[in-house]
Structure 1
Protein backbone atom coordinates (compact mmCIF):
# COMPACT_ATOMS: atom_id res chain seq x y z
CA UNK A 1 0.00 0.00 0.00
CA UNK A 2 1.46 3.35 -1.00
CA UNK A 3 1.22 6.59 0.94
CA UNK A 4 1.44 10.07 -0.54
CA UNK A 5 4.92 10.35 0.95
CA UNK A 6 6.06 7.13 -0.71
CA UNK A 7 4.49 8.20 -4.01
CA UNK A 8 6.43 11.47 -3.91
CA UNK A 9 9.62 9.64 -2.95
CA UNK A 10 8.96 7.33 -5.93
CA UNK A 11 8.99 10.39 -8.18
CA UNK A 12 12.09 11.91 -6.58
CA UNK A 13 14.27 8.82 -6.20
CA UNK A 14 14.88 7.96 -9.87
CA UNK A 15 16.05 11.52 -10.52
CA UNK A 16 18.45 11.39 -7.57
CA UNK A 17 19.67 7.93 -8.57
CA UNK A 18 20.41 9.14 -12.10
CA UNK A 19 22.51 11.99 -10.73
CA UNK A 20 24.41 9.73 -8.33
CA UNK A 21 25.08 7.09 -10.99
CA UNK A 22 26.60 9.77 -13.26
CA UNK A 23 29.06 11.11 -10.66
CA UNK A 24 32.57 10.16 -11.64
CA UNK A 25 35.19 9.21 -9.08
CA UNK A 26 37.32 12.18 -10.15
CA UNK A 27 34.45 14.52 -9.14
CA UNK A 28 34.26 13.44 -5.49
CA UNK A 29 36.38 16.32 -4.18
CA UNK A 30 34.52 19.08 -6.06
CA UNK A 31 32.73 21.81 -4.08
CA UNK A 32 28.93 21.81 -3.82
CA UNK A 33 26.31 24.49 -3.16
CA UNK A 34 26.54 23.33 0.49
CA UNK A 35 29.66 25.34 1.31
CA UNK A 36 31.00 22.92 3.93
CA UNK A 37 30.54 19.81 1.77
CA UNK A 38 32.47 18.33 -1.12
CA UNK A 39 30.66 15.94 -3.44
CA UNK A 40 32.02 13.04 -1.34
CA UNK A 41 30.81 14.64 1.90
CA UNK A 42 27.37 15.34 0.47
CA UNK A 43 27.05 11.81 -0.92
CA UNK A 44 27.87 10.41 2.51
CA UNK A 45 25.32 12.76 4.08
CA UNK A 46 22.66 11.75 1.56
CA UNK A 47 23.38 8.07 2.24
CA UNK A 48 22.88 8.80 5.94
CA UNK A 49 19.56 10.44 5.11
CA UNK A 50 18.43 7.39 3.14
CA UNK A 51 19.43 4.95 5.88
CA UNK A 52 18.32 6.96 8.91
CA UNK A 53 14.97 8.02 7.50
CA UNK A 54 14.23 4.33 6.87
CA UNK A 55 14.94 3.73 10.54
CA UNK A 56 12.65 6.55 11.63
CA UNK A 57 9.87 5.25 9.37
CA UNK A 58 10.16 1.96 11.26
CA UNK A 59 10.06 3.87 14.58
CA UNK A 60 13.70 3.09 15.37
CA UNK A 61 16.13 5.82 16.44
CA UNK A 62 18.54 7.11 13.78
CA UNK A 63 22.31 6.83 14.08
CA UNK A 64 24.03 9.93 12.75
CA UNK A 65 27.58 8.68 13.47
CA UNK A 66 29.95 9.47 10.64
CA UNK A 67 30.22 6.52 8.22
CA UNK A 68 31.93 6.23 4.87
CA UNK A 69 29.26 4.93 2.51
CA UNK A 70 31.46 5.18 -0.57
CA UNK A 71 33.49 1.97 -0.77
CA UNK A 72 33.20 -0.07 -3.98
CA UNK A 73 29.68 -0.37 -5.39
CA UNK A 74 28.27 2.78 -3.78
CA UNK A 75 26.22 3.80 -6.81
CA UNK A 76 24.26 0.54 -6.77
CA UNK A 77 23.92 0.70 -2.98
CA UNK A 78 22.54 4.22 -3.27
CA UNK A 79 19.83 2.98 -5.64
CA UNK A 80 19.01 0.07 -3.31
CA UNK A 81 18.82 2.34 -0.24
CA UNK A 82 16.58 4.80 -2.12
CA UNK A 83 14.22 1.94 -2.96
CA UNK A 84 14.21 0.84 0.69
CA UNK A 85 13.39 4.41 1.72
CA UNK A 86 10.35 4.40 -0.57
CA UNK A 87 9.22 1.05 0.82
CA UNK A 88 9.71 2.20 4.41
CA UNK A 89 7.49 5.25 3.92
CA UNK A 90 4.86 3.25 2.01
CA UNK A 91 3.76 1.70 5.30
CA UNK A 92 0.92 3.90 6.65
CA UNK A 93 2.24 3.26 10.19
CA UNK A 94 5.39 5.19 9.22
CA UNK A 95 3.32 8.38 9.11
CA UNK A 96 1.84 7.94 12.60
CA UNK A 97 3.06 9.46 15.82
CA UNK A 98 6.39 11.12 16.45
CA UNK A 99 9.63 10.10 14.75
CA UNK A 100 12.26 8.82 17.19
CA UNK A 101 15.33 10.96 17.52
CA UNK A 102 13.67 13.98 15.94
CA UNK A 103 10.73 14.83 18.19
CA UNK A 104 8.71 15.81 15.14
CA UNK A 105 5.53 14.35 13.71
CA UNK A 106 6.39 11.37 11.52
CA UNK A 107 4.56 12.95 8.58
CA UNK A 108 6.91 15.96 8.74
CA UNK A 109 9.95 13.68 8.94
CA UNK A 110 8.79 11.83 5.81
CA UNK A 111 8.51 15.17 4.04
CA UNK A 112 12.02 16.05 5.24
CA UNK A 113 13.31 12.87 3.59
CA UNK A 114 11.72 13.99 0.33
CA UNK A 115 13.20 17.49 0.60
CA UNK A 116 16.69 16.18 1.42
CA UNK A 117 16.63 13.65 -1.41
CA UNK A 118 15.51 16.25 -3.94
CA UNK A 119 17.57 19.26 -2.90
CA UNK A 120 20.76 17.30 -2.33
CA UNK A 121 20.32 15.61 -5.72
CA UNK A 122 20.17 19.13 -7.17
CA UNK A 123 23.28 20.09 -5.16
CA UNK A 124 25.16 17.09 -6.54
CA UNK A 125 23.94 17.74 -10.08
CA UNK A 126 25.07 21.38 -9.93
CA UNK A 127 28.45 20.39 -8.49
CA UNK A 128 29.09 17.80 -11.21
CA UNK A 129 27.67 19.69 -14.19
CA UNK A 130 24.55 17.56 -14.64
CA UNK A 131 21.05 18.68 -15.50
CA UNK A 132 18.41 18.27 -12.82
CA UNK A 133 14.69 18.92 -12.89
CA UNK A 134 12.54 18.00 -9.92
CA UNK A 135 9.15 16.41 -10.54
CA UNK A 136 6.32 19.00 -10.45
CA UNK A 137 4.49 17.17 -7.63
CA UNK A 138 7.70 17.13 -5.58
CA UNK A 139 8.23 20.86 -6.18
CA UNK A 140 4.65 21.55 -5.05
CA UNK A 141 5.21 19.45 -1.93
CA UNK A 142 8.46 21.33 -1.23
CA UNK A 143 6.67 24.69 -1.45
CA UNK A 144 3.93 23.43 0.89
CA UNK A 145 6.59 22.16 3.30
CA UNK A 146 8.35 25.53 3.28
CA UNK A 147 5.04 27.31 3.89
CA UNK A 148 4.56 25.23 7.06
CA UNK A 149 8.11 24.53 8.22
CA UNK A 150 10.45 26.97 6.48
CA UNK A 151 10.84 29.40 9.40
CA UNK A 152 11.38 26.59 11.91
CA UNK A 153 13.83 24.90 9.54
CA UNK A 154 15.77 28.11 9.19
CA UNK A 155 15.92 28.58 12.98
CA UNK A 156 17.16 24.97 13.35
CA UNK A 157 19.86 25.53 10.71
CA UNK A 158 18.36 23.18 8.12
CA UNK A 159 17.92 26.08 5.69
CA UNK A 160 19.90 29.25 5.14
CA UNK A 161 18.25 32.63 4.89
CA UNK A 162 16.18 32.95 1.71
CA UNK A 163 17.91 34.48 -1.30
CA UNK A 164 16.55 36.31 -4.31
CA UNK A 165 15.35 33.96 -7.03
CA UNK A 166 16.52 34.73 -10.56
CA UNK A 167 14.07 36.67 -12.71
CA UNK A 168 11.81 34.24 -14.56
CA UNK A 169 12.97 31.38 -12.33
CA UNK A 170 11.22 28.04 -12.42
CA UNK A 171 9.02 26.89 -9.52
CA UNK A 172 11.96 24.72 -8.40
CA UNK A 173 14.29 27.76 -8.54
CA UNK A 174 11.85 29.55 -6.27
CA UNK A 175 11.80 26.78 -3.67
CA UNK A 176 15.61 26.53 -3.78
CA UNK A 177 15.83 30.28 -3.14
CA UNK A 178 13.39 29.94 -0.23
CA UNK A 179 15.79 27.36 1.24
CA UNK A 180 18.73 29.74 0.89
CA UNK A 181 20.24 28.13 -2.19
CA UNK A 182 21.34 30.24 -5.12
CA UNK A 183 19.61 28.55 -8.09
CA UNK A 184 22.32 29.80 -10.45
CA UNK A 185 25.15 28.37 -8.31
CA UNK A 186 28.12 27.11 -10.27
CA UNK A 187 31.37 25.52 -9.06
CA UNK A 188 33.34 28.09 -11.06
Structure 2
Protein backbone atom coordinates (compact mmCIF):
# COMPACT_ATOMS: atom_id res chain seq x y z
CA UNK A 1 0.00 0.00 0.00
CA UNK A 2 2.00 2.95 -1.21
CA UNK A 3 -0.45 5.42 -2.70
CA UNK A 4 -0.33 8.41 -0.37
CA UNK A 5 -2.05 11.68 -1.34
CA UNK A 6 -0.49 15.01 -0.49
CA UNK A 7 -3.38 16.21 1.64
CA UNK A 8 -4.88 14.87 4.82
CA UNK A 9 -8.51 13.76 4.82
CA UNK A 10 -10.91 15.28 7.28
CA UNK A 11 -10.92 13.40 10.57
CA UNK A 12 -12.28 14.71 13.85
CA UNK A 13 -9.79 12.82 16.03
CA UNK A 14 -7.26 14.96 17.87
CA UNK A 15 -3.51 14.26 17.67
CA UNK A 16 -3.64 12.77 21.16
CA UNK A 17 -6.45 10.44 20.10
CA UNK A 18 -4.69 9.51 16.88
CA UNK A 19 -1.45 8.80 18.75
CA UNK A 20 -3.39 6.49 21.06
CA UNK A 21 -4.95 4.72 18.08
CA UNK A 22 -1.55 4.26 16.47
CA UNK A 23 -0.18 2.87 19.73
CA UNK A 24 -3.01 0.36 20.00
CA UNK A 25 -2.66 -0.67 16.36
CA UNK A 26 1.09 -1.23 16.81
CA UNK A 27 0.67 -3.17 20.04
CA UNK A 28 -2.04 -5.26 18.37
CA UNK A 29 0.42 -6.17 15.64
CA UNK A 30 2.94 -7.25 18.25
CA UNK A 31 0.33 -9.51 19.82
CA UNK A 32 -0.02 -11.32 16.49
CA UNK A 33 3.72 -11.51 15.78
CA UNK A 34 4.80 -13.73 18.66
CA UNK A 35 7.10 -16.73 18.37
CA UNK A 36 4.21 -19.00 19.27
CA UNK A 37 2.09 -17.69 16.37
CA UNK A 38 4.75 -17.21 13.68
CA UNK A 39 7.45 -19.80 14.25
CA UNK A 40 7.67 -22.17 11.30
CA UNK A 41 5.12 -20.21 9.25
CA UNK A 42 7.31 -17.81 7.25
CA UNK A 43 6.45 -19.35 3.87
CA UNK A 44 2.67 -19.48 4.33
CA UNK A 45 0.64 -17.45 1.80
CA UNK A 46 -1.21 -14.33 2.94
CA UNK A 47 -4.23 -12.44 1.60
CA UNK A 48 -1.68 -10.21 -0.20
CA UNK A 49 -0.79 -12.26 -3.28
CA UNK A 50 2.71 -10.79 -3.50
CA UNK A 51 3.60 -11.56 0.13
CA UNK A 52 4.18 -14.73 2.06
CA UNK A 53 4.32 -14.35 5.85
CA UNK A 54 8.01 -13.46 5.84
CA UNK A 55 7.69 -10.83 3.13
CA UNK A 56 4.61 -9.38 4.80
CA UNK A 57 6.56 -9.08 8.04
CA UNK A 58 9.35 -7.32 6.15
CA UNK A 59 6.83 -4.95 4.59
CA UNK A 60 5.47 -4.11 8.03
CA UNK A 61 9.01 -3.55 9.30
CA UNK A 62 9.67 -1.11 6.46
CA UNK A 63 6.38 0.67 7.12
CA UNK A 64 7.13 1.13 10.81
CA UNK A 65 10.68 2.36 10.20
CA UNK A 66 9.52 4.81 7.52
CA UNK A 67 6.70 6.04 9.73
CA UNK A 68 9.07 6.63 12.65
CA UNK A 69 11.21 8.86 10.44
CA UNK A 70 8.10 10.60 9.12
CA UNK A 71 7.06 11.43 12.68
CA UNK A 72 10.46 13.02 13.29
CA UNK A 73 10.36 14.87 9.93
CA UNK A 74 13.60 13.17 8.98
CA UNK A 75 14.34 11.62 5.59
CA UNK A 76 14.52 7.87 5.49
CA UNK A 77 18.20 6.87 5.40
CA UNK A 78 19.34 4.75 2.48
CA UNK A 79 20.51 2.13 4.96
CA UNK A 80 17.22 2.02 6.89
CA UNK A 81 16.31 -1.60 7.69
CA UNK A 82 14.00 -3.11 5.11
CA UNK A 83 14.78 -6.78 5.60
CA UNK A 84 14.39 -8.91 8.68
CA UNK A 85 17.73 -10.16 9.94
CA UNK A 86 16.06 -11.64 13.01
CA UNK A 87 12.69 -13.19 13.72
CA UNK A 88 9.79 -10.70 13.88
CA UNK A 89 9.07 -11.51 17.52
CA UNK A 90 12.57 -10.31 18.38
CA UNK A 91 12.95 -7.53 15.80
CA UNK A 92 9.57 -5.85 16.19
CA UNK A 93 9.43 -4.79 19.88
CA UNK A 94 12.13 -2.07 19.73
CA UNK A 95 10.83 -0.90 16.35
CA UNK A 96 7.32 -0.57 17.77
CA UNK A 97 8.65 1.25 20.83
CA UNK A 98 10.40 3.83 18.62
CA UNK A 99 7.32 4.16 16.40
CA UNK A 100 5.01 4.79 19.35
CA UNK A 101 7.43 7.20 20.99
CA UNK A 102 7.81 9.19 17.78
CA UNK A 103 4.11 9.67 17.23
CA UNK A 104 3.44 10.38 20.92
CA UNK A 105 4.92 13.86 20.48
CA UNK A 106 2.21 16.42 19.56
CA UNK A 107 4.52 18.11 17.05
CA UNK A 108 4.80 14.85 15.12
CA UNK A 109 1.26 15.44 13.82
CA UNK A 110 1.95 18.99 12.63
CA UNK A 111 3.12 20.24 9.24
CA UNK A 112 4.22 18.15 6.29
CA UNK A 113 6.54 15.19 6.10
CA UNK A 114 7.77 12.51 3.74
CA UNK A 115 6.31 9.02 4.02
CA UNK A 116 6.70 6.13 1.62
CA UNK A 117 8.34 8.40 -0.98
CA UNK A 118 5.45 10.89 -0.87
CA UNK A 119 5.18 14.33 0.66
CA UNK A 120 1.99 14.52 2.70
CA UNK A 121 0.67 16.04 5.87
CA UNK A 122 2.18 14.52 8.98
CA UNK A 123 -1.35 13.85 10.21
CA UNK A 124 -2.04 11.78 7.13
CA UNK A 125 1.22 9.85 7.50
CA UNK A 126 0.25 8.87 11.03
CA UNK A 127 -3.24 7.88 9.93
CA UNK A 128 -1.78 5.90 7.03
CA UNK A 129 0.32 4.01 9.54
CA UNK A 130 -2.81 3.11 11.50
CA UNK A 131 -4.34 1.71 8.33
CA UNK A 132 -1.25 -0.25 7.33
CA UNK A 133 -0.91 -1.82 10.77
CA UNK A 134 -4.60 -2.66 10.93
CA UNK A 135 -5.15 -4.10 7.46
CA UNK A 136 -1.82 -5.88 7.24
CA UNK A 137 -2.17 -6.97 10.85
CA UNK A 138 -5.36 -8.71 9.78
CA UNK A 139 -3.50 -10.20 6.79
CA UNK A 140 -0.87 -11.64 9.13
CA UNK A 141 -3.51 -13.02 11.47
CA UNK A 142 -5.42 -14.62 8.61
CA UNK A 143 -2.30 -16.22 7.19
CA UNK A 144 -1.32 -17.75 10.52
CA UNK A 145 -4.75 -18.84 11.73
CA UNK A 146 -5.30 -16.17 14.35
CA UNK A 147 -8.42 -14.23 15.26
CA UNK A 148 -8.05 -10.49 14.77
CA UNK A 149 -9.91 -7.63 16.39
CA UNK A 150 -9.47 -3.86 16.21
CA UNK A 151 -11.31 -1.14 18.11
CA UNK A 152 -13.90 0.87 16.21
CA UNK A 153 -12.00 4.17 16.44
CA UNK A 154 -8.87 2.54 15.00
CA UNK A 155 -10.93 1.02 12.20
CA UNK A 156 -12.63 4.38 11.53
CA UNK A 157 -9.27 6.08 11.00
CA UNK A 158 -8.06 3.23 8.80
CA UNK A 159 -11.27 3.44 6.77
CA UNK A 160 -10.89 7.20 6.32
CA UNK A 161 -7.47 6.66 4.80
CA UNK A 162 -8.58 3.69 2.69
CA UNK A 163 -11.37 5.75 1.16
CA UNK A 164 -8.98 8.61 0.46
CA UNK A 165 -6.48 6.46 -1.43
CA UNK A 166 -8.89 3.84 -2.78
CA UNK A 167 -8.77 4.68 -6.48
CA UNK A 168 -5.01 4.95 -6.64
CA UNK A 169 -4.51 1.87 -4.48
CA UNK A 170 -6.67 -0.20 -6.82
CA UNK A 171 -4.77 1.06 -9.87
CA UNK A 172 -1.45 0.10 -8.25
CA UNK A 173 -2.73 -3.28 -7.10
CA UNK A 174 -2.40 -2.44 -3.40
CA UNK A 175 -6.17 -2.91 -3.03
CA UNK A 176 -8.23 -5.53 -4.77
CA UNK A 177 -11.63 -4.92 -6.31
CA UNK A 178 -14.08 -3.70 -3.69
CA UNK A 179 -16.30 -6.46 -2.31
CA UNK A 180 -19.85 -6.12 -1.05
CA UNK A 181 -19.86 -6.50 2.74
CA UNK A 182 -22.47 -8.65 4.42
CA UNK A 183 -25.53 -6.87 5.74
CA UNK A 184 -24.41 -7.55 9.29
CA UNK A 185 -20.72 -6.78 8.67
CA UNK A 186 -18.70 -5.19 11.42
CA UNK A 187 -16.75 -1.98 10.84
CA UNK A 188 -13.58 -4.04 10.39
CA UNK A 189 -15.27 -6.35 7.89
CA UNK A 190 -16.51 -3.33 5.90
CA UNK A 191 -12.98 -1.91 5.82
CA UNK A 192 -11.57 -5.22 4.63
CA UNK A 193 -14.24 -5.55 1.94
CA UNK A 194 -13.38 -2.07 0.70
CA UNK A 195 -9.75 -3.14 0.27
CA UNK A 196 -10.80 -6.28 -1.58
CA UNK A 197 -10.39 -8.72 1.29
CA UNK A 198 -12.98 -11.32 2.20
CA UNK A 199 -13.17 -11.72 5.97
CA UNK A 200 -15.69 -14.55 5.86
CA UNK A 201 -15.08 -18.02 4.50
TM-score by length of 2: 0.81
Query: Segments of 4+ in structure 1 off by > 6 A?
Result: none
Within the candidate set 154, 177, 180, 1:161 is matched to 177
2:98 equivalent to 1:84: yes
Mapped contact 1:13–1:117 kept (Cα < 8 A): yes
1:1-188 maps to which residues of 2 (within 5 A)?
Answer: 3-21=16-34, 22-63=36-77, 67-72=82-87, 74-100=88-114, 101-155=117-171, 157-184=173-200
Mapped contact 1:134–1:172 kept (Cα < 8 A): yes
- Give aligned pairs, total: 183
Cα RMSD after superposing both structures: 2.2
Distance in 2, Cα, partners of 1:152 & 1:95:
24
Structure 2: any 5+ residue segments left out of the alignment?
Answer: 1-14
Range moving further from structure 2, 98-107 or 160-169: 160-169
Higher helix proportion: 1
Q: Secondary structure of the residue that 1:184 maps to in structure 2?
A: coil
Q: Secondary structure of the residue that 1:26 maps to in structure 2?
A: coil
Distance in 1, Cα, partners of 2:172 & 2:73:
22
Mapped contact 1:54–1:88 kept (Cα < 8 A): yes
Mapped contact 1:139–1:175 kept (Cα < 8 A): yes
TM-score by length of 1: 0.86
Decide whether aligned partners of structure 1 residues 98 and 66 sit closer, same or farther in structure 2, where only a CA change above 3 A counts: same
Q: Secondary structure of the residue that 2:24 maps to in structure 1?
A: helix
Structure 1: any 5+ residue segments left out of the alignment?
Answer: none
